[in-house]
Amino acid sequence: MCGINGIYIYGQNTPALDLAELTRSRDAMTPRGPDGAGIWHSEDRRVGLGHRRLAIIDLSEQGHQPMSTDDTRYTIVFNGEIYNYTELREKLTSKGVRFRGHSDTEVLLQLYLWEGRSMLGMLRGMFAFAIWDAVKEHLFIARDPYGIKPLYYSDKDGQFRFASQVKALLVGGKIAHDIDPAGMVGFFLWGSVPEPLTLYREIRMLPAGSSVVVDSRGMGPITSYWNISDVISASMNAANAIPAGGEQAFFKEALRDSVKSHLVADVPVGAFLSAGLDSSTILGLATEISGRPVESITFTCDEFKGKDTDELPLATVVAAHYQSKHHVVSISTKDMEDDLQNFLEAMDQPTIDGINTWFVSAAAARAGLKVVLSGLGGDELLGGYATFKRIPSRVQSTSRIAKFPGLAAIWKISGNFAARTIPSFDPKCAELFSLGSHYEGAYQLERGLLMPWQLEAVMDPEFARIGLRHLDDANKETRQSNTSKLVGMARIIELESIRYMRNQLLRDTDWTGMAHSLEIRTPLVDAKLTEQVVGLAALGRLGKGKSILPLSLDRPLPHALITRPKTGFTVPIWKWLRHSKALTAWRRIKYLNRPQVHDYTRWAFSVAAHLPETRNILK
């Protein structure tokens, strides 16, 4: 796990590479890679690559990056882990390839030499990497299927830049800080900036599961090699080959294989532990597969003590059950207040989530861990959220009324009026029939932060209108690439995986973990596992919700944990908003003081207001 960056000067009349800029950008990511740093540039100074290293596999100097082939034709910078690198190494060795070290980076480099772009389908892991080909004079860049590892780029005036963080690109000093209206609007609609946008006009994110080549003509077309929509459809078809009654054994084998892969490391691997089925199952499987106790870390809040939301008591039981060395981090409002500024400064893109992972990552780092497993992804894969029930039901019921346009129009007009005049009225109700009759609209009602017509209450109206228009343009390509044939659970898996997990959970997990030099691995967010089991889940053949997870264990989980209602992994935002001196910006907005406004909307405004670039945009 690392931080990578690079600059390619492909314009003919463009000044040569600025090594000081390349170094500034690289070192802005020092927490991502405190174990070492490297820089490489071509003799003509048209291309340069930078790397910050967090040593996980092959701790020796043989794993140092940027890494070049013996003939110096290919040079790579790589962020992530390739879990099947040993298997790939053996195949390459059988072809006569000789390796200098034992890193997955060298395997990745040699695999590209032999297989080119088709290598992407052979990789199991989380990754973002760039490979320079000195003969063809082009840069090949790729990102893992789910987008666990980020990669941001800027392409302007004959210069292509990339980095693992938005802040790293900005600190280089050559990219404008102008806010992108679509990125800002997207944040207020969803609580995160939707891919491929960022908060800044000149910076974009390479989409998950895609690659691109940059050569002397500039940036080529972005090519997708893995699409969750297509995977769900293919997996549903493949599920027909699994006999009825064989689902549990099939799922158990697939999940254990994923956890085993995610344990590959040359340093100890710990695990986050809540009182949920996901993290408890992951800890149990890691213990069983490794054959030894695994260190665990649990996060809790003082405000939750003695309440149903306190996950610590059951987490402690699970830790004892698996003889884990258990670390607990309990924070108070004062703890949050003391660390809030650090959290906001480290935030790479605005988000309403991530603060829980911030604190538990800090605890893991203090415990001396470099790698932890997370249960993230179980809800999206197996239907653990309430959205899996509510959205199909809402679509079915409201679509009947939506057939009568006059009735739906009257409801919207009266609902908008009520939202503006009745403080206790939920503004989303006004859009019940215009949005609730189809899956994407119903999902927006469930997951959305603000409705489009509410944006003018928190930002400049013209800026909001421009942002909505540009956001719609940015979404057209995504909508065209997604299958519209998926319905029911399959459709919600698709939406939750793309909207919520990719744009928020995975992104926040990356930056909060790496801010503490911690690699967070997600065995339930694994392309191979998804391809194997998502079809069974979508067809309802894996049982109710996540009930199948603990059945993968040889030693059962405590009964009290299996029967515990889902509470979610959360923090008392409401209390912090009302007591923290650093979170007062929302109070000046009349709309945000209305009782029906959710605290996460107030939190979103406070996060956005923290940025100096938003002063002339927000009210």
DSSP 86-107: HHHHHHHHHTT---SS--HHHH
Determine if residue 158 is left, alpha or beta; phi over 0 gives left, psi from -120 to 50 gives alpha, anything else beta: left
Cβ atoms of 210 and 142 within 8 Å: the answer is yes
Angstrom distances, CA of residue 75 to CA of 48, 159, 464, 593, 605 = 10, 19, 43, 54, 43
Q: What is the DSSP string of 146-183?
A: T--S--EEEEETTEEEEES-HHHHHHTS-S--PBPHHH
- Sign for the CA dihedral angle at 212, 218, 221, 222 comes to positive
Residues in the chain, how many?
619
Q: Is position 429 annotated as part of the catalytic site?
A: no
Euclidean distance between CA atoms 471 and 183, whole angstroms: 7
Q: C-alpha distances in angstroms, 56 versus 36, 106, 112, 377?
A: 12, 14, 22, 23
| Angle, vertex CA 379, rays to CA 481 and CA 557, nearest 5 | 150
What is the number of alpha carbons within 13 Å of residue 548 lying toward its C-beta?
29
Q: What is residue 417's three-state secondary structure?
A: helix
The identity of residue 535, as a single letter, is G
Strands of the sheet containing 204-205, edge to edge, are 36-41, 47-53, 2-9, 159-163, 152-156, 204-205
Amino acid at 225: Y
| Catalytic residue from among 1, 2, 130, 486 | 2
Q: Are 239 and 539 in contact (CB under 8 A)?
A: yes
Task: Please give the Cα distance from 34 to 29 (Å, whole number).
Answer: 9
Q: Give yes or no for a contact between 50 and 67, defined as CB atoms under 8 angstroms apart.
A: no
Which amino acid type is present at position 234?
A
Q: How far does CA 320 lie from the centroid of its chain?
A: 31
Q: Could you give the CA distance from residue 180 to residue 198 in angstroms, rounded to a whole number?
A: 7
Q: Which two tokens stand for residue 493?
A: 């898996």
Coil, strand or helix: which one is 281?
A: helix
Which residues are part of the catalytic machinery? 2
